[in-house]
A = this chain, B = another copy of it.
């Protein structure tokens, strides 16, 4: 009975994944996975097989899913690293983690609000164009647009 290296490590088959498999499952590239690890984004450095290859546990993949969630919603890597550090430290700092998450949520809300503002400006511009095109009055159009746009609601950047 020759077990593959995948299996002979630790007690049988605790579902270890290679970097390639994790890449598939998370949608991150293998480059990015190595990069994230080097950046200290993992809660613990990924375990290795005999040959030095990374062997991801289910936990790692779940954590990476959290990371991509946070990244996609605009959290910068240093803040994710901070979060990872808190988790690494273990129980006792849940308030801090909650804080971090709440602050991030505020940021997302903020960005949504700003985008809504810009959306209005743009929609207004689109509306102006549509109206003018319907009326066939196209000459020197853009100068008028400018004036209109300036008068439009301008969300604070």
New A-B contacts (6) at CB < 8 Å, excluding given A69-B121, A112-B119: A62-B146, A62-B149, A87-B142, A91-B141, A104-B122, A108-B119
| Docked-complex contact A94 and B147, CB < 8 angstroms | no
A32 within 8 A of B: no
| Docked-complex contact B65 and A149, CB < 8 angstroms | yes
25 examples of A-B residue contacts, CB within 8 angstroms: A62-B143, A62-B150, A65-B150, A66-B146, A68-B157, A69-B118, A70-B122, A72-B118, A72-B155, A72-B157, A73-B115, A73-B118, A73-B121, A73-B122, A74-B118, A91-B139, A91-B140, A92-B138, A94-B138, A95-B133, A97-B129, A101-B126, A104-B122, A105-B119, A112-B116
Chain A residues touching B, range: 35 or more
| Docked-complex contact B105 and A122, CB < 8 angstroms | yes
A103 CB to nearest B CB, Å: 10
Instruction: State the main secondary structure of chain A at its contact with B.
Output: helix
| Docked-complex contact A108 and B98, CB < 8 angstroms | no
* Residue ID in chain B nearest A146 by CB atoms: B62
A130 within 8 A of B: yes
A27 within 8 A of B: yes
